[in-house]
Amino acid sequence: MVLVVGGVLAIIVAVLVLNLQTPPERRIPLTPNRPAPPNSNSIKPEVGPAPAPAPPREPKPDPPIAAPPPVASAVPGTSTVTQTDLDYLATRNLLVPVEGVKANQLRDTFNQARSEGRQHDAIDIMAPQGLPVLAADEGTVIKLFQSERGGITLYQIDPSGRYVYYYAHLARYAEGIAEGKQVRRGDVIAYVGDTGNAGPGNFHLHFAISKITSPRQWSGGDPINPYPLLAR
């Protein structure tokens, strides 16, 4: 019995000695999860107010377009009509070319504006439909013509061959009138109408005088105001 107890005690002593020689196991205390420190790269700088937008740039104007060169005129500068022309026509003692119309009844419409930027370059002698149109001077009928503007028209050249008398908006020609016919001052050559662009019912004679500027072209010459030559 004594031996058994002694053996047990020896074992206990040995175990105690062994425990004293072995260092105790080091345990790492458990700590609660902490968030990882913020990354310096992830820190966002404070954002201030957005800068005002730059004012829009005004578009630069297109460079000016050069004006086209002026077109040369058939009659450079001013008209070729001179005082000599007016003095000559005054000697012709032109007749008011509508039967029964007096000089004091005429109106000067020479400088009035017309469509498409044109100047009238003639006078309008208002008269009833069908009233006889008279030759303002002696001369030759050089052209009977019909146009959109003038309607039924007649061109007469004066005895000198330098001036053209133009009658327009006629209703019809007088009997026997033809190109090349010689007429005397006061001869009936046509009748008042409203043809061309006169307008329906606007009966009148459009009468013009022009100076021939080209020997081969009797139309389109330099205009001369008939009013002072008739209203005398």
- Whichever domain contains 120, its CATH number is 2.70.70.10
Q: What percent of the chain has pLDDT over 70?
A: 64
- Which residue segment(s) compose the domain that 96 sits in? 83-230
Residue 186 lies in a domain: yes
Residue 148 lies in a domain: yes
Calculate the average pLDDT of the chain. 78
- Mean predicted confidence (pLDDT) in 56-69: 43
Residue 1 lies in a domain: no
Residue 17 lies in a domain: no
pLDDT tens by residue, 22-52: 555 555 444 445 555 555 454 555 555 555 6
Residue 9 lies in a domain: no
Residue 71 lies in a domain: no
| CB 197, CB 148: distance < 8 Å | yes
Residue 131 lies in a domain: yes
Most confident of 63-72, 178-187, 194-203: 178-187
* Domain tally, the chain: 1
Position with higher pLDDT, 11 vs 159: 159
**For the chain, what is the HEC assignment?**
CHHHHHHHHHHHHHHHHHHHHCCCCCCCCCCCCCCCCCCHHHCCCCCCCCCCCCCCCCCCCCCCCCCCCCCCCCCCCCCCCCHHHHHHHHHCCCCCCECCCCHHHCCCCCCCECHHHCECCCEEEECCCCCEEECCCCEEEEEEEEECCCEEEEEEECCCCCEEEEEEEEEEECCCCCCCCEECCCCEEEEEECCHHHCCCCCEEEEEEEECCECCECCCCEEECCHHHHCC
Q: pTM of whole model > 0.95?
A: no
Residue 147 lies in a domain: yes
pLDDT tens by residue, 115-155: 666 777 889 999 999 999 999 999 999 999 999 989 999 99
